Amino acid sequence: MAVLDTLLKNRLITGFAIGALVFACILLGGKWLLAFLLVFIIIASKEYADILRNKGFLPFFKVILIISVSMVLVSACGYDNLIPLVLLIGTIGSFLAVLFRGRQPYIANVATTILGFLIAWMPCHVCLVRQMGPSVSLFNITFKQGLYFLVFIFFVILLTDIAAYFFGVRFGKHKLCPVISPKKTIEGALAGGICAIITGLIIGKLIGISFYHSLVLSIIVTVMAQLGDLSESLIKRDAGVKDSGNSLPGHGGFLDRADSYLFSVPVAYYYIKYFILSGITFPVITEFIKKVFYVICS
């Protein structure tokens, strides 16, 4: 019992410290957010490569690192239109690394290298969200509207993780995905989703997002957060490791702490971009689907 109390205490202290640091970098933006993302990407990429080596694969860490850092830099500097080019260079570089480095010429090494910088590409959307929308002013401080959206996403994910963990431990009886993550429960997932939606509706009201968009965005973020968590668990389970690292007491590694952000931030970014800011409506989507069918059937 004392051991469990110690583990919970370590988890809470580490979680609070990391959460406070992330939130501060989100608020400050600029070089602070860039520095945090670079540190995270470097450590998380190393954790990913180590996990895959445990499975017997040999992803090229240098390729992953170069491409990942490049994507963070172009995202932070507002040149996100260059990301497809960076991904193309990374994909070609992954093949060339296997072809000419003399290692085992396995396609798995190419695939795991590409997957490595694709995973790193997802956190880059933090910068993209932060830069979204028109400039707004609060207390004589001017910033992009994207800061509001990023705060929204941060707290929805935070409440998803907190509620899912504590409700799962206290009331969880039915396993959510026993093969991949035996500790996660349906009760915890539902509690996390409900708390996240309530949080999203409250914050959405405060920052001026309509009830409909707040509801949909909250659902998207909480669902994607939990799927990201399970997907990272899938990689660890297949590789036969419990945690991605041991640098964060009570949480494991950096990937373990950030898994909820992997899917949620990118999907939220595109929903905000195309539905909230650009005003795409369901009639527009319906018309697009009709045109697709017309092209296919013509």
Judge whether residue 279 has pLDDT over 60. yes
pLDDT digits (tens, 9 = 90+) for 199-257: 999 999 999 899 999 999 999 999 999 999 888 888 888 888 877 766 666 567 788 78
pTM: 0.87
Judged by average pLDDT, the poorest of 59-63, 115-119, 147-151, 165-169 is 165-169
Strand 141-144 relative to strand 181-185: parallel, antiparallel, unpaired?
unpaired
The domain in which residue 103 lies consists of 2-297
Element (H, E) at 85: helix 83-100
- The fraction of the chain above a pLDDT of 70, given in percent, is 88
Count: domains in the chain: 1
Mean pLDDT, rounded, for 247-273: 84
Give pLDDT, residue 1: 47
- The span from the CA of 216 to the CA of 267, in Å, is 12
DSSP state of 60: -
- The fraction of the chain above a pLDDT of 90, given in percent, is 44
Mean pLDDT, rounded, for 25-41: 91
DSSP 38-101: HHHHHHHHHHHHHHHHHHT----HHHHHHHHHHHHHHHHTT-GGGHHHHHHHHHHHHHHHHHHS
**Phi-psi group of 87: left, alpha or beta (phi > 0 → left; psi -120 to 50 → alpha; rest → beta):** alpha
Judge whether residue 3 has pLDDT over 90. no
